[in-house]
Amino acid sequence: MHSPSRLRRHTLWLRATNTVSRGTPGGGLQRQLRAPPWAELTVAAAVAGAGLLLGHPLLGGALAAGLLGATQLLAQRPRRRWQAGLAGELAAAQALRRVPDATVYHDVMLGKENADHVVVTAQGVFCIEVKHWAQVHVTARGVTTRGAARPAVLDQAQRQAGKLRRALGVPVRPVLVFTVPGARVHVRTLGGVRLTALPGLPGTLTALRRERQHPLTAAQVKTVLHRLDTLIKEHP
């Protein structure tokens, strides 16, 4: 039976809601989705211009229209991926609101890539990589989607945590979360990366914090927050 003091600590842990959110969830993906389709427009303009130079403006215009339609169709594939990724990052951001006594940063740029979410607590810093993949299955053998192995995703989570560690000057734990409903995650850790489906994200972070592998002093927390604020300002 738990002692009253231990029960009180557990209750306080569950009820604490002092969570601060900074940055824009999925900010990079939102910028990509808002960007004009310059590649498609450039191709169409080049073809139309060539038609004018060759004395066939109608032919050039027809070819330009056809190419514009074709390139737009091709462009829909990455846009669909971006939209799916954005849905996953927004869902993860919503789940992270339930993590108590934490400061959560969204879309932190790390050179040419970004950390989807960074969670700063007194018990450690966690880099959250989000994947909105269908038919995810995680076993001791690795991560698969639709039956295809995806080993690079663990490398990505480790790489981003390493970049963040160098930027912040403190250890960072990588966490990989799968946000499509029905993800089957049968192991908790692979290659040093903690894995979870979306419903288990707050509980996963609670468990990691209780391990207290890399606790921070108050001064370290202040320094980490300052450095993350700087990264957010440099890449709004």
Structural domain tally of the chain?
Answer: 1
Q: Is residue 109 part of a domain?
A: yes
Q: Is residue 16 part of a domain?
A: no
Q: Is residue 9 part of a domain?
A: no
Percent of the chain at pLDDT > 70 equals: 70
| Kind plus residue range of the DSSP H or E element containing 160 | helix 152-168
Q: Is residue 76 part of a domain?
A: yes
Question: pLDDT grade, residue 21 (50/70/90)?
Answer: confident
Question: Given a cut of 60, is residue 41 above it in pLDDT?
Answer: no
pLDDT in tens, 89-144: 999 999 999 999 999 999 999 988 999 999 999 999 999 999 999 999 999 999 99
d(Cα 54, Cα 59) in Å, to the nearest integer? 10
Other Cβ atoms within 10 Å of 136 Cβ, number: 22
Q: Is residue 1 part of a domain?
A: no
Question: pLDDT grade, residue 177 (50/70/90)?
Answer: very high
CA 220 to chain centre: 24
| Burial of residue 160, with CB atoms counted within 10 A of its CB: 0-12 exposed, 13-18 middle, 19 or more buried | buried
Instruction: Identify the domain containing residue 133 by its residue range.
Output: 22-234
Domain with residue 223: its CATH number is 3.40.1350.10
d(Cα 185, Cα 187) in Å, to the nearest integer? 6
pLDDT at 176: 98
Q: Is residue 61 part of a domain?
A: yes
Q: Is residue 190 part of a domain?
A: yes
Encoded tokens for 48? 């139309």
Which candidate, 102, 98, 93, places its Cα nearest to that of 120?
102
Question: Given a cut of 60, is residue 16 above it in pLDDT?
Answer: no
Q: Is residue 5 part of a domain?
A: no
What's the pTM value of the predicted model, to 2 decimals?
Answer: 0.76
